[in-house]
Structures are given as C-alpha cells and as structure tokens.
Structure 1
Amino acid sequence: MNIDFPLHFDDKGRTAAAADDDHVRDMIEQLLFTSPGERVNRPDFGAGLLQMVFSPNSAELSAALQFALQAALARWLGDVIDVAGLDVTSTDGTLNVVVAYTVKKTGEARRETFARGVV
C-alpha cells in the first residue's frame, strides 16, 4: 500500500492510499518542494525549490536550478524514474515545474506539472 500525499483519511476513516502512478508523482512533488535540512534523519533530502520563488529570473539561475533538480531527481528517485525533460519557469510569484519521465517499473512515459505560488 502506498500512502497518499498529502496525508489524509479516506471515506472509511483510514489512511488514504495512492495508486502506483500517483505515488510516483507524490514522491517527485515531495522531493522538489522539500528544503534540505527539513527532514529528520535525511538532512540532505530535497531540492529546495520553494526558495527560488523570490529569486530574480535569469538564464544563469534557470540553468543552475535545472541542473540541481536533475541531480536531485537522479540521486533520490533514480531507481524509480528516468527523467526525460525538465522545465522550470517563474511567473508573477508562481513557480511552475514540468517533469517528463518514464516509470522504470512499467515503462510508462508521463509528464507532470507542479506549481507553487506565493501565499
């Protein structure tokens, strides 16, 4: 059983479960938006993407961010997915990340969009 993210309860009051495809997406989302140092016993887990919402846009920053995200995805989820593409954009305080990947277990190609805005 894969626990759904974010953690919540189903209609029967039990911990909600996620299908395998949703679980892979949830793992990517957790990695992207977790800041290093945030997890107990895994201080180097995370990509720290939320810190970039307020950073000034530039080609250099975008290239560095994409390189860092590629490295984090390969390190933490390299046994689960093969990343085919990664695109990061920031518009009006909203950070959008598009990840194209193949699930190694099934061979299914997927493309997911993750977005976070200024609260």
Structure 2
Amino acid sequence: MPARQPWRLGTARRLSPGDSFEHLDDLVRAVLLTGAGERLHRPGFGAGLGASTLFEPLSDALGATVAARARGSLTDALGDRIQVIEVVVTVENNTLSAAVTYRPLPAGTSRSLTLTLPGAAP
C-alpha cells in the first residue's frame, strides 16, 4: 500500500485535507518499517521491522525484541500525535505479524493496524 500525503486535490482543483486517520496509519507504517540508520539525519528513527528482520530466523525472542523496539520507536517518533496502547508481535508459520493499537491525540477512538512480513526459514 503506497504512502499517501495528508492533502488531496479536491473539488474545483483546490487542496483539501484528506483522511487524517489514513495519514496516521501511513506514519505508523513508516516508523515500523524503517530501520535504524536508514535516515541520514535521524539514525535512531524506526523500529526496523522491514529489512532488518527479513533474513533473521524467526523466534519468540525476536518477536519480543521487535515489540519493544516498535513501542519505543512509535512513542519517540509519534508521541505528540498518538498514544500507543498495545503492540503485539506474533511469530507463526514463518511469518512475523505486528498488531499495533493506538489512539490519536488529543482525543480519539482506538485504531488498530496489522503488518505481516515473511521471515527467513529457521
């Protein structure tokens, strides 16, 4: 799913705000999939759920590590926009799934986002 900008071309060819919830989902995906060191001026940005875990053997220990990194990275990068409620990482059938539940700030209803990635064979 491609990332979307928060602004869209609306009626009469004027800019109009898009769906802010979709934009927050895109920001959460960007934080989760970006690995540490991928951003030149922000080397600590990202949870590293993408390429850094792609070739590692999947285990429960890796799942716990990814969950801790994801919670910390989301809080650091988006702490002024969302409140992270829960991060659950499961390892099953050679796939890694991360389910994030968050609440948009200042007040909003809880939203959930799940990313599923293939892993290396054990």
Shift of 1:112: 1.2
1:18-41 Cα offsets, whole Å, 9 max, x none, are 411011110000000011221232
- What do you get for the CA RMSD once the two structures are aligned? 2.9
Q: Mark the runs of 5 or more structure 1 residues left unpaired by the alignment.
A: none
Q: How many percent of aligned residue pairs carry the same amino acid? A: 31
| Equivalent in the alignment of 1:96 | 97
Higher CA-based Rg: 2
Q: Which structure is higher in RCO with an 8 Å CA cutoff and minimum separation 6?
A: 2
Q: How does 1:34-45 map to 2 (within 5 A)?
A: 34-45=34-45
Shift of 1:117: 3.6
Shift of 1:113: 1.1
- The CA distance in 2 between the partners of 1:100 and 1:110, in whole Å, is 6
Amino acid at match of 1:36: A
**TM-score, normalization: structure 2?**
0.74
- The CA distance in 2 between the partners of 1:30 and 1:54, in whole Å, is 20
| Equivalent in the alignment of 1:115 | 116
**TM-score, normalization: structure 1?**
0.75
Q: Mark the runs of 5 or more structure 2 residues left unpaired by the alignment.
A: none
- The CA distance in 2 between the partners of 1:82 and 1:75, in whole Å, is 11
1:73-115 Cα offsets, whole Å, 9 max, x none, are 1111111111111111244453321101111133211111122
